[in-house]
A and B are shown apart, each in its own frame.
Chain A
Amino acid sequence: MGISSGSFFLQNLFNAIMLGGLYALIAVGYTMVYGILRLINFAHGDIMMMGVYFAFYAATILSLSSIPAAIVAVLGAAGLGFLIDRIAYKPLRNAPRISALITAIAMSFFLESFAVVVFGAVPKSFLSVFKDRSILNKVLTVGGAKIPLLTFLVIILTAAIFAVLFWIVYRTKIGMAMRAISMDIPTTSLMGINVDMVIGFTFALGSALAAASGIMWAMRYPNVFPYMGFMPGLKAFIAAVVGGIGSIPGAIVGGLVLGAVEIFAVSYFPDLSGYRDAFSFIILIAILLIKPSGILGKKAIEKV
């Protein structure tokens, strides 16, 4: 299969959409929290890692089958996200923003070292979660390109999760409350809304999505280790910034852009594959210099 062939392109396209979707799922958590608290939840990528470990142990120790294990892990991550907000971030709501950011870094650091101590530093194979691995190896042929069935599954699942997310944010009361506090916290609290509950819910929701993303990530790249969340987390944050921070559609756009750049650059310029992780930072700096508000973000005027 040549580098200029259509099927090669198609194969990369599917990979890009899959990777972009996974970034987007994590990015949503960043963007929702940043939209409300102006806080980069540095620990978000590590919550994704914890979610993957939850799934791993739910399947191996509790010997649940894959789908219940995934549900347990997603709920566990949601609870963890809620707890982190309560314990570490809530006491600092009125502190300088930099203090909150440092605390988030400390939290990320804590989750990683916790995983090293409790789960061990040696990578584990996520494949042991599956009793029947035949599904992982199925390949479909589309337009001459061989695409793993798993890629399709991940893309479809991601899309379904996003549909649910949009329903929650735009069609339910709690979603309305989330959108309200992202505009103005004091006023919203005057309307009789329990702001802390809504913020906690936002953390839980974002963490659940990160865990879902992490589990699918681990199905595709089945190496589970304590630092696995760091890079995807940073990249997802960059995706959120590129798309326009605070905007959920922006997170999707940013995720897809990042996924596409990474996959295509590496496939068409194999020499650059070692620099794969560097692309996203270059994109970040470029977008912040060209359009600091991101692709779908609104321009903010500095009040003096």
Chain B
Amino acid sequence: MMEKKLKTSTKVWLTIIFILIMGFLLWIANRTFDDYKLRVLRLIAIYGIMAVSLNLINGITGVFSLGHAGFILIGAYTAALLTLTPEQKAMSFLFGIQPWIEKIHADFFTATIAGGVMAALFAFLIGWPVLKLRGDYLAIASLGFAEVVRIWANNALTITNGPLGLKALQEYSNIWWVYGWLLFTVVFISSLVYSSYGRALKAIREDEIAARSMGINVFKHQLLAFVVGAFFAGVSGSLYAHWLTTIDPRITTMGPMFTFYILIMIVLGGLGSISGSLIGAAIFAILFEWLRNLEQPFTFFGIQVPGIPGMRILVISVLFILVMIFWQRGIMGREELTWENLYKWFSRLKREGEKS
């Protein structure tokens, strides 16, 4: 029964101040952090875009897609082929190259947009058959789509350079690009979710038949969420490629496992919560990096333990299972970190403090 307590203008100001403070903090981090920490900091933003965009499809709309890695891969290749110079491409393509692929060239921003648009276009085309399916069938079909894309990238030698991949990309994804794109993603998707369209998407998640009977064109709206999600996945793919500086279509790099990582982030943060996805992405990025320690030799209570390769994935997977069995709502559930909620929690804390 909580009516609005904060004025809209207050919330807008608070948001602007928050963004400025975050920007300032990033500026300080950019100056003081070492290279390794900065890399992780940038990775958090890239994972954040991936998680928020998958959350729009899976958590908000309830379309259980497992095709995100496919869209990321499309975005990554599209952008990388654009930012590489014709000379670089001529050098690295050992099996020859399509002349038009060799010629095209663009700056990083245009390339990133192109990556997003290409992924969105694929989502639009694949959405027609895939979104006709329901639930788990859709999950498998979209996973299959991602695999077909990966297999194609592995085989289309004159376009993608096949298994050799694309190397020596410029490390364009600096802190301002990745956090700028993250900000745009979050603003765009929140704005969508907190509009009539967002309510329609949630209604579809809750009950498709009822949504249809309320005049919602279910297929069109699912496709909309799918395409928007894919666009940002493509963008994140471009940022990822220019963070990693090398991409290849191996099953372990851009295969289904990659989608599962993003799935872990959004499940951990709370399926259906945008702020939860961001928290999940940050935790995953930091935890995954920190767990690298397990793969190096370390001393545990005075005992010398040798490094075990693959250990960090094992720990993550155990965590994943435990979250699913004991803590399905995740960190945020379907709630959001809004000024309103913060205000509510704060005043409750205050009231309880006064009582005691």
Contact present between A and B (CB < 8 A): yes
Given that A95-B328, A285-B130 are contacting pairs, would A110 and B155 also be in contact in the complex, using a CB cutoff of 8 Å? no
A288 part of interface (Cβ distance < 8 Å): yes
| B165 lies within 8 A of chain A by Cβ | no
Residue in A91, A105, A107 with the greatest tally of chain B CB atoms within 10 Å: A105
CA distance A107 to B133 in the complex (A): 24
Q: How many residues of A contact B (CB 8 A)?
A: 44
B64 touches A101 (CB 8 A): yes
Q: Does B325 reach chain A (CB closer than 8 Å)?
A: yes
Contact indicator B152/A278 (Cβ below 8 Å): yes
Residues 24-41 of B contacting A (Cβ, < 8 Å)? none
**A176 at the binding interface (Cβ < 8 Å):** no
In the complex, whether A25 has a CB less than 8 A from a CB of chain B is: no
Contact residues, A24-43 vs B (CB, 8 A):
38-40
Query: Which of the candidate stretches B278-286, B315-323, B332-340 sits at the interface with the other chain?
Result: B315-323
Asked whether, in the complex, the Cβ of A98 is within 8 Å of the Cβ of B324, the reply is no
Does B6 reach chain A (CB closer than 8 Å)?
no
CB < 8 Å neighbour of B129 from A97, A116, A285? A285
Is B23 close to A, CB under 8 A? no
Contact B321 A110 (CB under 8 A): yes
Asked whether A164 is an interface residue with its Cβ less than 8 Å from the other chain, the reply is no
A289 CB to nearest B CB, Å: 6
Q: Are A113 and B141 in contact (CB under 8 A)?
A: no
**A282-B148 in contact (CB<8A):** yes
Q: Which of A139-147, A199-207, A230-238 contacts B (4 or more CB under 8 A)?
A: A230-238
Within 8 A of A (CB), among B96-147: 129-130, 132-133, 135-137, 139-141, 143-145, 147
Give every chain A residue within 8 A of B154 (Cβ-Cβ). Answer: 274
Question: Is the C-beta of A103 less than 8 angstroms from some C-beta in chain B?
Answer: yes
Q: Which residue of B lies closest to A111 (CB)?
A: B317
CB contacts (< 8 Å) of A107 on chain B: these are: 321
A97 B321 Cβ-Cβ under 8 A: no
Residues of A within 8 A of B316 (CB): 113
Indicate if A281 sits at the interface (CB-CB under 8 A). yes
> Within 8 Å CB of B311, what residues of A?
117
A88 vs B323: C-alpha distance when bound (angstroms): 11
Give complex CA distance A98, B144 in Å.
18
Contact of A92 with B by CB under 8 A: yes
* A109 touches B (CB below 8 Å): yes
Bitwise interface map of B from 185 to 214 toward A, beta carbon under 8 Å scored 1, else 0: 000000000000000000000000100000
| Cα–Cα distance between A301 and B139 once the two chains are bound (Å) | 21
State whether the Cβ of B21 lies closer than 8 Å to any Cβ in chain A. no
- The one of A102, A106, A121, A282 in contact with B309, judged by C-beta atoms closer than 8 angstroms, is A121
In whole angstroms, what is the CA distance A109 to B314 when docked?
A: 8
Q: Are B140 and A103 in contact (CB under 8 A)?
A: no
Classify chain B: how many residues form its interface, as a range: 35 or more
> Main SS of chain B's interface residues?
helix
Q: Contacts of A238 on B, CB cut-off 8 Å?
A: 140, 144
Q: Is the pair A285, B320 in contact by a Cβ cutoff of 8 Å?
A: no
* Cβ–Cβ < 8 Å partners of A92 in chain B: 324-325
Contact B321 A106 (CB under 8 A): yes
Interface residues as binary, B163-190 with A (CB distance below 8 Å gives 1, 0 otherwise): 0000000000000000000000000000
| Contact (Cβ within 8 A) A98 B64 | yes
| Across-interface contacts of A91 in B (CB, < 8 A) | 325
A234 and B310 within 8 A (CB): no
Taking CB as reference atom, which chain A residue is nearest B143? A234
A26 to chain B, nearest CB (A): 14
Residues of chain A contacted by B62 (CB below 8 angstroms): 98
B257 at the interface (CB under 8 A from A): yes
Task: Please give, as numbers and ranges, the residues of chain A lying within 8 Å of B129 by CB-CB distance.
Answer: 285, 289
User: Is B288 at the interface (CB under 8 A from chain A)?
Assistant: no
Q: Is the CB of A281 within 8 A of B309?
A: no
Compute how far the CA of A39 lies from the CA of B137 in the bound complex, rounded to whole angstroms.
11
**B313 located at the interface, meaning its Cβ lies under 8 Å from any Cβ of chain A in the complex:** yes
- Which A residues from 281 to 303 make CB contacts under 8 A with B? 281-282, 284-285, 288-289, 292, 302
Taking a contact as CB atoms under 8 Å apart, the answer to whether B145 and A281 are in contact is yes
B135, B310, B325: which contacts A97 (Cβ < 8 A)? B135
Please indicate which of the listed interface residues B129, B140, B143, B145 has the most CB atoms of chain A within 10 Å of its own CB: B140
A227, B151: Cβ atoms closer than 8 Å:
no
Task: Give the residue among A103, A121, A238, A281 with the most B Cβ atoms within 10 A.
Answer: A281
**CB<8 Å pairs between A and B, sample of 21:** A39-B136, A88-B325, A92-B325, A98-B62, A98-B135, A101-B139, A103-B324, A107-B321, A110-B318, A112-B317, A113-B316, A113-B317, A116-B309, A117-B308, A238-B144, A241-B140, A274-B151, A274-B155, A275-B151, A282-B148, A285-B144
Give chain B's interface residues, CB within 8 Å of chain A.
62, 64, 66, 129-130, 132-133, 135-137, 139-141, 143-145, 147-148, 151-152, 154-155, 209, 251, 256-257, 260, 263-264, 267, 308-311, 313-314, 316-318, 320-321, 324-325, 328
Apart from A102-B324, A114-B317, list 19 A-B contacts with CB within 8 A.
A38-B136, A40-B136, A92-B324, A97-B136, A98-B62, A98-B64, A105-B260, A106-B324, A112-B317, A114-B314, A121-B309, A234-B144, A241-B140, A274-B151, A274-B154, A278-B147, A285-B130, A285-B141, A302-B209
Instruction: Report, nearest first, the 8 A-B pairs whose CB atoms are least far apart.
Output: A281-B144, A116-B310, A274-B155, A110-B317, A113-B313, A106-B320, A113-B314, A103-B324
